[in-house]
């Protein structure tokens, strides 16, 4: 079932951790809460889990209002960053624990534990204690334990952030594959944009306790509504525009956009900036000088200065070694009107 959160507010003393948060997690999807440290991701997850009471707002699972249901009655599976397994119980006993609490029969528990350990590829580790397993294996057990009682929602709080890069990559794929195979509605907290881009159906970008924007990776990348979102998801050049509503100018040049601008801040993704040949035209053409060229193998990162707006530096990329594009070189840069994004 889908999860709907409306008007959630949560304060800790004078800190407002969540401010009027409203969002929806569609059934069977994976939604990532993405944002910098301290923006309220964990608090939002804990309020949804019932581990923390909100000051106001509601949490609905389908048609059922869960706002005042205790955590143990919500039937949600929760996985934390690390060290959440019982250290004195084996992998199999950890997975069995929640089923014993729910008074499952011994026979049912045996079948379910075997099934869950197989799901996370740990059949051969069933009798190991947490301390005898790697961090990645421990997180797999934690996921198996969370999924064992058939939860209606899986909640993961930065489950990969304590793992090294290679294991993190593997587990990203594995969590996503398990989530899709089971079709379980899932919320995962992360501060890692790549993790969110790679795994999520929906990304909810949080900033200082508020939702900046929610949508698919593609929607947030193509149509960021704010500078915060544009800079948090991918890289972007930002420019200040004069007279945005009446006669938009970037420095001394008229700026063409596909729609009228509402704000004076615009963004252009690095890949939308093209080096033009002598006879080539574009909606917006800027004379520029390269200030720095950094060769990185598969691409060269170029820092340039626009003649029309020398105080607003531009960074873009060229494929491969980009012969001839060295510091001091003058060139023309093209930007299509549709690639100029209006940022609040």
Ligand X SMILES: Nc1ncnc2c1ncn2[C@@H]1O[C@H](COP(=O)(O)OP(=O)(O)O)[C@@H](O)[C@H]1O
By CB under 5 A, name the binding residues for Mg ion. Answer: 42
**Minimum separation from the CB atom of position 26 to ligand X (A):** 22
Q: Is 36 in contact with 207 (CB distance < 8 Å)? A: yes
| Number of other CB atoms surrounding residue 312 within 10 Å | 15
**Rounded distance between C-alpha atoms, residue 151 and residue 315, angstroms:** 47
Q: Is 306 in contact with 250 (CB distance < 8 Å)? A: yes
**Rounded distance between C-alpha atoms, residue 200 and residue 187, angstroms:** 9
* Number of residues located near ligand X, criterion CB under 6 A: 11
15 binds, among Mg ion, ligand X, none (CB under 5 to 8 A by kind): ligand X
From candidates 3, 5, 8, 17, binder to ligand X by CB under 6 A: 17
39 binds, among ligand X, Mg ion, none (CB under 5 to 8 A by kind): ligand X
Is position 161 an interface residue for ligand X (rule: CB under 6 A)?
no
From candidates 21, 25, 34, 40, binder to ligand X by CB under 6 A: 40
**Rounded distance between C-alpha atoms, residue 184 and residue 1, angstroms:** 9
From candidates 28, 38, 136, 313, binder to ligand X by CB under 6 A: 38
Order across the sheet with 153-157: list the strands: 76-79, 153-157, 186-190, 30-34, 202-207, 210-215
136 binds, among ligand X, Mg ion, none (CB under 5 to 8 A by kind): none
Is position 193 an interface residue for ligand X (rule: CB under 6 A)?
no
Q: Which is nearer to ligand X, 77 or 209 (CB)?
A: 209
**Rounded distance between C-alpha atoms, residue 18 and residue 9, angstroms:** 5
**Minimum separation from the CB atom of position 191 to Mg ion (A):** 8
The residues binding ligand X (CB under 6 A) are: 12, 15, 17, 35, 37-43
């Amino acid at each position: 079932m889908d999860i709907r959160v409306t008007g959630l507010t949560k304060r800790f003393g004078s800190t407002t951790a969540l401010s009027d948060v409203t969002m929806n997690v569609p059934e069977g999807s994976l939604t990532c809460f993405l944002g910098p440290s301290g923006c309220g991701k964990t608090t939002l997850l804990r309020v949804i889990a019932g581990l923390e009471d909100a000051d106001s707002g509601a949490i609905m699972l389908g048609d059922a209002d869960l706002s005042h249901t205790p955590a143990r009655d919500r039937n949600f599976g929760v996985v934390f960053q690390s060290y959440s397994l019982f250290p004195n119980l084996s992998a199999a006993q950890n997975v069995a624990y929640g089923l014993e609490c729910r008074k499952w029969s011994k026979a049912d528990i045996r079948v379910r534990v075997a099934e869950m350990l197989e799901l996370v590829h740990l059949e051969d580790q069933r009798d190991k204690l947490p301390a005898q397993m790697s961090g990645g294996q421990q997180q797999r057990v934690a996921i198996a334990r969370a999924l064992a009682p058939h939860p209606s929602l899986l909640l993961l709080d930065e489950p990969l952030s304590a793992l090294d890069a290679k294991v993190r990559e593997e587990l990203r794929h594995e969590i996503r594959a398990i989530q899709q195979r089971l079709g379980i509605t899932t919320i995962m907290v992360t501060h890692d944009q790549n993790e969110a881009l790679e795994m999520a159906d929906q990304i909810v970008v949080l900033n200082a306790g508020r939702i900046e924007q929610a949508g698919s990776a593609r929607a947030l990348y193509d149509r960021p509504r704010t500078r915060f979102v544009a800079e948090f998801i991918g890289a972007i050049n930002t420019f200040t525009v004069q007279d945005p509503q009446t006669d938009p100018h970037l420095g001394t040049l008229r700026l063409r956009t596909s729609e009228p601008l509402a704000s004076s801040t615009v963004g252009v993704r690095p890949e939308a900036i093209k080096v033009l040949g002598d006879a080539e035209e574009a909606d917006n053409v800027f004379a520029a000088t390269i200030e720095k060229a950094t060769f990185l193998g598969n691409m060269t990162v170029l820092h340039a200065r626009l003649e029309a707006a020398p105080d607003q530096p531009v960074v873009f990329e060229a494929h491969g070694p980009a012969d001839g594009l060295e510091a001091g070189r003058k060139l023309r840069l093209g930007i299509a009107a549709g690639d100029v994004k209006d940022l609040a």
